[in-house]
Amino acid sequence: MRILLGLGAIWVLLCLPALAQTVGQPLPAWTPGTLDIHQINTGKGNSALFLLPDGTTMLVDAGDGNHEPPRGTAPKPDASRPAGEWIARYVRHMLRHDATPAIDYAYLTHFHSDHMGAITEVARHIPFRALVDRGWPSYDYPAAQKGLAAYRAFAEAQSKAGVKVQRLVPGRNDQLVLKRAPAQYQNFEIRNIAANGEIWTGAGTNTRQHFPPIATLQPADYPSENMCSMAFRLSYGKFDFFSGGDMPGVRNEWAPIWNDVETPVAQVVGPVEAMILNHHGNRDSTNAFLLAALRPQVFLIPVWTSNHPGEDVWHRLMNTRIYPGPRDVFATGMLEGNRLVIGPSLDQLKSAQGHIVLRVAAGGETFQVIVLDDSAESFRVRSVHGPYTAR
Ligand SMILES: [Zn+2]
């Protein structure tokens, strides 16, 4: 009997490799069919590694913001290496199954330091196969991009070296694709939703321009860099994930309606299982319409300052009148300042510190959230949440 029980336990373990996350142990390796979304915490800005079901890799942002203490989060694991090198080392560890590790798509939501400042450093340590941004090759929307000279030189050098540099084309679902075995995962899609105010209509690959023609605006009223953020929706079976960069959705009363980018985006994205908060949950983001339309079960907050999230945003997130049902919120590194302003309500966070891994089981029916220790390169599991069921 005891032998039978032992065999049964071994059988269960063999059948559930992706569920064998153990607190205190390193994260088990990615396996084919699984979708991993890693929000990497360097304390310096945004970066997320997407390990797609066939092993295709995408890095969404590589930030290295220049934060002034005491607003900023501490560098993680520590200050001994630049953020870009930590990101590349994290990626290499997670791609240890791959004999020729590379980033298939390096994707920059927009041109701010906390999203792109570490991109050249990452490329020094792991090769890119494609680079996707909102400006290539002219970098002239809404006006000539001053301050982008170093990045443009980098993008041009990448292009000369054979990297496929391209501008995101809103509406399309055939630009960011599985590169290894797409036929095996026909229920996988990345739909480009928005860039530079051009937003998918929800029909075919059609788009419309949400911003007025630039010629009709004064330079002071041009769309901001955040408004121009690129956005996509990733779908794997029933599982959907939204990423919208730093797009705003809460405008000043005197500002034109088109300064709200979230509302027209939310109209076409629809319900998702999980999302990264727009603009780190800054007070100008995450409006009630977006929350009601997307109604995620899981939120990721990449934090680097004490208004991530804004107090109003936090209370909207947790408000079950906006949409019913449970929602779990995970932050990469909550600051004491946020706790002082928001108060004990912030203790509802499922996790306040660490790398956040969404691990979606093969087929996209269920997923877990796994928080990893970010104080060293141990990749140890701190907590496991779920499984959640995709709807
Ligand atoms: Zn940002």
Identity of residue 34: T
Residue 12: the pLDDT is 44
CA of 115 to the centre of ligand 1 (A): 6
CA of 114 to the centre of ligand 1 (A): 5
Position 67 pLDDT exceeds 80: no
CA distance 280 to 300: 9
**pTM, two decimal places:** 0.94
CA of 24 to the centre of ligand 1 (A): 31
Residue 69: the pLDDT is 62
Contacts of residue 174, Cβ cutoff 8 Å, sequence gap at least 6: none
Q: What is the DSSP letter of 152?
A: H
Indicate the range of 71-85, 175-189, 316-330 predicted with least confidence: 71-85
CA of 1 to the centre of ligand 1 (A): 58
CATH value at residue 132: 3.60.15.10
In a domain, 303, yes or no: yes
CA of 119 to the centre of ligand 1 (A): 14
Banded model confidence at residue 14, pLDDT cuts 50, 70, 90:
very low
Percent of the chain with pLDDT over 70: 94
Give the mean pLDDT of 101-118: 97
**Could you read off the pLDDT of 327-359 as tens digits, one per residue?**
999 999 999 999 999 999 999 999 999 999 999
The arrangement of strands across the sheet holding 239-243 comes to 207-209, 198-200, 188-195, 231-236, 239-243, 274-276, 298-301, 328-331
Give the mean pLDDT of 227-236: 98
In a domain, 1, yes or no: no
In a domain, 150, yes or no: yes
Residue 29: the pLDDT is 97
CA distance 283 to 357: 25
CA of 121 to the centre of ligand 1 (A): 18
Residue 354: the pLDDT is 98
**Could you read off the pLDDT of 78-99 as tens digits, one per residue?**
999 999 999 999 999 999 999 9
CA of 112 to the centre of ligand 1 (A): 7
Around ion ligand 1, which residues have CB less than 5 A away?
114, 246
Banded model confidence at residue 21, pLDDT cuts 50, 70, 90:
confident
Position 121 pLDDT exceeds 70: yes
Banded model confidence at residue 19, pLDDT cuts 50, 70, 90:
low
Residue 70: the pLDDT is 59
Position 242 pLDDT exceeds 70: yes
Residue 136: phi, psi to the nearest 5?
A: -55, 140
Domain range for 370 is 34-389
My answer on whether omega of the bond before 28 falls inside 30° of 0, hence cis, is: no
Residue 15: the pLDDT is 43
In a domain, 50, yes or no: yes
In a domain, 21, yes or no: no
Give the mean pLDDT of 289-308: 96
Residue 55: phi, psi to the nearest 5?
A: 95, -5
Residue 260: the pLDDT is 98
Instruction: Report the DSSP pairing between strands 188-195 and 198-200.
Output: antiparallel
Q: What is the DSSP letter of 103?
A: B
CA of 195 to the centre of ligand 1 (A): 16
Give the mean pLDDT of 116-120: 97
CA of 381 to the centre of ligand 1 (A): 27
CA of 300 to the centre of ligand 1 (A): 14
Position 16 pLDDT exceeds 60: no
DSSP 252-298: -TTS-GGG--HHHHHHHH---SEEEPGGGG-TTS--HHHHHHH--SE
Domain count, the chain: 1
Position 68 pLDDT exceeds 70: no
CA of 152 to the centre of ligand 1 (A): 20
In a domain, 15, yes or no: no
CA distance 258 to 279: 17
Position 7 pLDDT exceeds 90: no
CA dist 258 → 221, 252, 316 (Å): 11, 11, 22
In a domain, 16, yes or no: no
Residue 20: the pLDDT is 72
Helix (H, G, I), strand (E, B) or coil at 177: coil
CA of 280 to the centre of ligand 1 (A): 6
In a domain, 178, yes or no: yes
Tokens of 292: 């009601």
Position 10 pLDDT exceeds 90: no
Residue 66: the pLDDT is 72
